[in-house]
Structure 1
Amino acid sequence: MAVNSSFLSFDGGIQQLEGEDTSIILPAVIGTISGIGIGGNVLVLLVLIYIFTRQRESEAYVMLGNLSATDLLILSLCAPVRALTYYKRTWTLGLTACTTTEWIQHSCLAVKAYTLLAANQARHNFSSNPEEHSRFRPKHVLVTLVIIWTVALVFPIPDIVFSRLKEDGNISLCVSESPTYSQDAMRLYSKILPMAIYVLPIILSTACHIRTIFHIKPSAHDETLVARQYESSLLFLSIIAMNALMMLPEWAFWVWVRHSSAERCKPPAGLLIFGQVCVYLSSAFCPAILLTMHVPLRESLSNLCSLLACRGAKHRLKGNGDEMRVVVTKMLDERACVSTLCKIERHSDASCQTLPDLQHFWSERRNTTVIEDGDPLPWERLNQSNVEL
């Protein structure tokens, strides 16, 4: 730390780690989380696009799409920067990336928090007055998204101001450094930023969520709708709780670094890395929660998979041409023959079972041998002399 600076912290990941294992394990862990999370968020966006093509727009679906898009940005822009930094152990991305890496991540985290707040507010408005808020209002949704992104991009601007490159021997370091004359302003900023994009959105989202639950009225006429409302409430409560728990280490260590008075009071590097990994785990867990707990999304995903499977089969039939048609025709002929034989066999079996007496009659008529004991006129062969009168 320089003499004229009040604090110094690494941006974009810690660039002076000890141990060779960290340069392999950490990039592998972050890369795995990013790959899984990117795939999940892309799948959620595809399902939401499929829902919108079926004319089922709603403000809550737009907010879920914005949430997935924000997680996709975090995993595709911020996570690779950390993985590369831990692998190289130096900063290799230039001054522009150094000054914007923390700003982009904090802006995306703010968008996530405000999007959850807007989604819960939309659900509360719909539950309190369904007739007025049942229609999709594109202008209202567009204004809400513009406000969310504007506020989220403005709040972390001091991250750009205090980030800079420093040379330490043969390596470059990307750090966030506050001069002594701005110490008071930076301490105030370190309190305002977590409150504005972490604490207050979670408190307000929870309050909206609790009000929405109390507005759900049991109905004997439409039990399915009530069950869906409770499932949706559980979904948003799970996302809020997961987001709050996963973001807590990152913001706790961020405040700790800026308020520690001495170098020995700084948080350990392992805890800082743990907080960063939790941020990316949050973005990877969110699509899993949406696709498993949100019933309309789950049903739309099943319908989309069935539609893609049918189109793939149709494309293969067209591509193979006459050969495939011949194979299909043979298969249909074989199935028709098998079906016909089965019908004949069942018919013959039924005939045999319905006329058992006729079968016995004809089998008896084929036997031409007359048994002695069954002669109907036995007295004609008796000896007249032995007959007693």
Structure 2
Amino acid sequence: MLRCPFVMDADRPANVSFFDFVGGIQLLRGEDSRTVMPVILIAICVSGAVGNLLVLLIFVRDFRSGKGSEVKALLASLASTDLVILLLCVPVRAITYYKQSWVLGSFVCRTTDWFQHSCIVAKTLIMAVTTRAKHTVVPRTASGSFYNPTWIHGALAFIGGVSMMIPTPQLLFAALLPHGRGAICVSEMPVCASDFMSLFYKFYPTAAFLLPVTFTLAYYIKTLYTAVNHAPSAHHQSKVILVLLCLSGALGLMLLPEWGTFTWIRLGYNHPPVGLMMFAQALLYACSSLSPVILMTMYDDVRQGLVSLWFTATCRSRKPPSKCPKKEGNGSEVTANAVTNALSQQDKTFPDVEHFWTGRRNTHVDDEHDPVPWEKEEKML
């Protein structure tokens, strides 16, 4: 059984009004949390990293072939953010659960929660920006650009700056404290900053999570209704909007427990159950693994790109390479080559019997001119 890990409240300094673990729950008692939780996190990390890498490869192929769009550029940024979360944040939590203490040093202790929150805020803001992006594919122009990237680059730069600035308290209040033979990574908020931080922790989840997600969901629900009932090309447009709506809904639902427990603790209430906090962290990382699954199953361009990658990979693995079908060719060229090869094989004659068929071809022997026909000779025998 898991027991409450928050046994440090008795040792909390007098000038500290807030005390919480950073980088994962530490001092857990029980082998279940030490073995099961790291295995779950590693499985989420591996599967999600593979999925996001495939999505990025597909988008890169689309950009290089002139099939890019503004939405694809933003979704590629979202996949990159998910990949960073899975590769840099998940291993830290898995090690912390396994060691039940902090073994990664002071720098990682101070930056791990700040970095994770920066990525989470960036995800919600990127999904909100997709509401202003064009969903249709823009072909290459004469200058070689498939879309005007100025506002996309500006929006991503703004999102990056805001997402790193808002979670600054996660960087300032993190500290590494000795505990027994090891150390623990905690967040300590001084009493002098409690009033301001109490107001900040009411504003921070609202501005970084609640408002962007609510706006994105409301926009795509309204746009999907309009596309289905009034748009001239309702089928294609509604499918793209449905994909973005599913991504926004999954993001909001799967991040809600993490933001709920975060706000619950920071506002000074009692700590939530340990099982709820562990479930919220696992759901947070599972959200980064679910996004590529939604794109591969619902987004036509990504699904077609995945099929193309599969055929390309299997074709290159065959020997000889000449047997692989060319994507640029058409069926008539392949059929013409096959017919030509068949005719050339049919015209060939073995050299050993060529003189026999040459002598016998188009010849006719009459009985009156053949003294001993071989057919009659055979009957006589």
Residues 128-167 of structure 1 aligned to structure 2 (within 5 Å): 136-167=147-178
CA distance in 1, matches of 2:251, 2:273: 23
Report if aligned partners of 1:121, 1:208 keep a CA contact under 8 Å in 2.
no
26-35 or 136-145: bigger deviation = 136-145
Q: 1:215 offset after TM fit, Å?
A: 4.4
Deviations 1:201-230 (A, max 9, x none): 11221233134335427689x7xx421211
Corresponding residue of 2:128: 117
Q: Secondary structure at the match of 1:176?
A: strand
Q: Distance in 2 between matches of 1:282 and 1:56?
A: 27
Give the alignment's TM-score, normalised by structure 1: 0.75
In 2: Cα distance, 1:138 partner to 1:191 partner: 35
- 1:239 corresponds in structure 2 to 247
Q: 1:255 corresponds to which letter in structure 2?
A: T
The residue type equivalent to 1:41 in the other structure is N
AA aligned opposite 2:312: L
1:282 corresponding residue in structure 2: 287
Counterpart code for 1:14: I
Q: Specify every segment of 5 or more residues in structure 2 that has no aligned partner in the other structure, as ranges.
A: 1-11, 138-144, 324-337, 347-381
Letter in 2 for 1:296: D
The amino acid of 2:283's aligned partner reads: C
Which amino acid is 2:301 matched to?
P
Name the TM-score, length of structure 2 as normaliser.
0.76
CA contact (8 A) 2:68 2:147 kept: yes
Is residue 56 of structure 2 the alignment partner of residue 48 of structure 1? no
Task: Check if 1:200 corresponds to 2:211.
Answer: yes
Aligned-pair CA distance for 1:102: 0.5
Q: Is the 8 A contact 1:74 1:108 kept in 2?
A: yes
Residues 247 and 278 of structure 1 are in contact (CA less than 8 Å); yes or no, is this contact kept in structure 2? yes
- Residue correspondence of structure 1 range 1-389 to structure 2 within 5 A: 1-123=12-134, 136-216=147-227, 225-261=233-269, 265-313=270-318
Q: Secondary structure at the match of 1:266?
A: coil
Does the 8 A contact of 1:50 with 1:304 survive in 2? no
**Secondary structure of the corresponding residue to residue 153 of structure 1:** helix
SS in structure 1 at match of 2:30 = coil
Gaps of 5+ in 1: 128-133, 319-331, 341-389
Distance in 1 separating the partners of 2:117 and 2:283: 14
Paired residue secondary structure (1:216):
helix
Separation in structure 2 between the aligned mates of residue 47 and residue 35 of structure 1, nearest angstrom: 19
Q: 1:314 to 1:227 in 2, by over 3 A?
A: farther
Q: Secondary structure at the match of 2:186?
A: strand
**Identical-pair percentage:** 37
Aligned pair count reads 311
Q: 1:250 aligns to what SS in structure 2?
A: helix
Q: Which has the higher helix share?
A: 1
SS at match of 1:21: helix
Contact 1:123 1:212 in 2 (8 A): no
